[in-house]
Amino acid sequence: MHAVNVLHVLPFPGIGGTEIATRRIAEAVRPFGVQSSALLLRPAADLQAYIEEGGIACLDGSQRPEPSLLRNALSFLSSSRALARTFQAFDIIHCADIHAAYYVAVAGRLAGKPVLCHIRNRAARIGQWERIFVGAASHFAAVSRDTLDHFPIRLRPSRTTVLYDGIDIPPRAAPAERAAAAHAVRSEFGLPKDAVVAAMFARVNQQKDYPTLIRAAALLREAHPALRFLIVGDNARVETNRRHFAEVQDLARRSGVLDRFVFAGFRTDVARLMLAADLCVLCTHFEGLPLVLIEAMAAERACVATAVDGIPEALTDGVTGLLHQPGDAKGLATSIAKLIAAPVQTEAMGAAARVDAERRFSRDRFARDVRALYEGLSGMRGMGRHRAEATRAAAG
């Protein structure tokens, strides 16, 4: 029995939640006999290196089809047919985002292959022509129920799945390990030893609502002089992030809180930085189901997050974290102040978040769900033969 071959199609050049989630999917189902490759529609050296570090071979996607039904329809059809020949080597075409499906779903159908489209964020508007190309996908997997319910293309239930992400739940960190991380991180970034660190792990992009976070920081400045915001995420590698970073810095400067922010840029030691944080913040305009929120829960960090899209499906307000309404700087500031003022309750909230992450968002549960979805799409029931091997590998 040959292994199942999945081609993941990545539409963006940067490394963010979509790219991280794609690599995690490939790594999670590998023990089940699933072989993964990646097609980079906008190749970038950093992205290719990141994907290949996960043991995933990359194909060059520089000849991506440009969808058209009018002036360039023949060119689109020709390039889609050429891509379809590449797709023949794979059993499933897994589009990491609806943008990937926009370019390649037609090619997948021409190849006679099932095309799985991941819906990772709220898609408030999809144009008439875009609906045709995106809708060519065979099946849609949404990262949360809310994300699926608000998807603007009407789909039969048989063509949809809610697929909650999962992560490797790390061992609980001992108090000494947390203290060491806190000391090292404060020293690294020149923070006071008694600084209260609120960390936000998100690229500096318009999707992430940094203006509301800055306004909240201004409201907290006088009452909490030890509070510092550690921002971990790309602010220079991608041009759109670089431009927005300049705007965010200017707003923080004009708001009198630039000195309260540390912008660390893209980092590979997120787990260590989370251990050093006193609490985590996710201020955002929209999210499907952010992996970083699940990571913070697993790290026993109390979180304050915007109540949008799938976030309330992951975070229970007042139990495993605190939620605030979109754009509500006062509500965000109040929630942060509440956690700072009650460290014992904040610690208990983090512990409850850890238990919930173990129960609902483990890598093992996620791997089984993805395997079942792939199996259903490919019709290759032999994938189940790898279950015992995967169980032994996980146990070892």
Q: Are both 320 and 197 inside the same structural domain?
A: yes
Please tell me whether residues 109 and 210 are part of one structural domain. no
Taking CA atoms, 75 is separated from 5, 66, 67, 81, 365, in Å, by: 28, 8, 9, 10, 43
Give the number of domains in the chain: 2
d(CA 371, CA 36): 13
Give yes or no: residues 124 and 48 share one domain: yes
- Based on the number of CB atoms within 10 Å of its own CB, is 19 exposed (0-12), middle (13-18) or buried (19 or more)? buried
CA atoms of 230 and 243, how far apart (whole Å): 19
Number of C-alpha atoms within 13 angstroms, CB side, residue 101? 27
On whether both 243 and 331 belong to a single domain, the answer is yes
Phi-psi region of 261 (alpha: psi -120 to 50; beta: other; left: phi over 0): beta
The pLDDT assigned to 1 comes to 34
Q: What pLDDT is stored for residue 124 in this prediction?
A: 63
Look at residue 394 in the predicted model and tell me its pLDDT.
Answer: 33
Task: Give 275's pLDDT tier (boundaries 50, 70, 90).
Answer: very high
173: Cβ–Cβ under 8 A, 6 or more apart, which residues? 181, 275, 299, 300
Residue whose entry in the numeric block shows the structure tokens 């512990």: 351
Is there a single domain that holds both residue 199 and residue 336? yes
Q: Are residues 202 and 102 in the same domain?
A: no
Residue 385: pLDDT over 70: no
Q: Which tens digit of pLDDT belongs to each residue from 42-68?
A: 999 999 999 999 999 998 766 788 888
pLDDT tens digits for range 78-125: 999 999 999 999 999 999 999 999 999 999 999 999 999 999 988 767
Q: Cα separation of 309 and 122, whole Å?
A: 7
Task: Please tell me whether residues 53 and 96 are part of one structural domain.
Answer: yes
Mean pLDDT of the residues in the chain? 91
Do residue 47 and residue 103 come from a single domain? Answer: yes
Same domain, 185 and 214: yes
Count other Cβ atoms within 10 Å, centred on residue 74.
9
Same domain, yes or no: 152 and 238: no
pLDDT digits (tens, 9 = 90+) for 201-259: 999 999 999 999 999 999 999 999 999 999 999 999 889 999 999 999 999 999 999 99
Per-residue DSSP letters for 100-144?
A: HHHHHHHHHHHTT--EEEEE-S------HHHHHHHTTSSEEEESS
Query: What does the alpha-carbon distance between residue 200 and residue 295 come to, in Å, rounded to a whole number?
Result: 12
| pLDDT tens digits for range 325-383 | 999 999 999 999 999 999 999 999 999 999 999 999 999 999 999 999 999 998 744 44
So what's the pLDDT on residue 208?
A: 96
CB of 84 closer than 8 Å to CB of 108: yes
Residues 38 and 109 in one domain: yes
**CATH code of 296's domain:** 3.40.50.2000
Q: Residue 63's pLDDT is what? A: 72
Residue 387 has a pLDDT of 40
Q: pTM higher than 0.85 for the full model?
A: no
227 & 346 share domain: yes
The number of C-alpha atoms within 13 Å of 232 and in the hemisphere containing its C-beta is 22
Full residue range of the structural domain in which residue 120 is found: 4-166+362-395
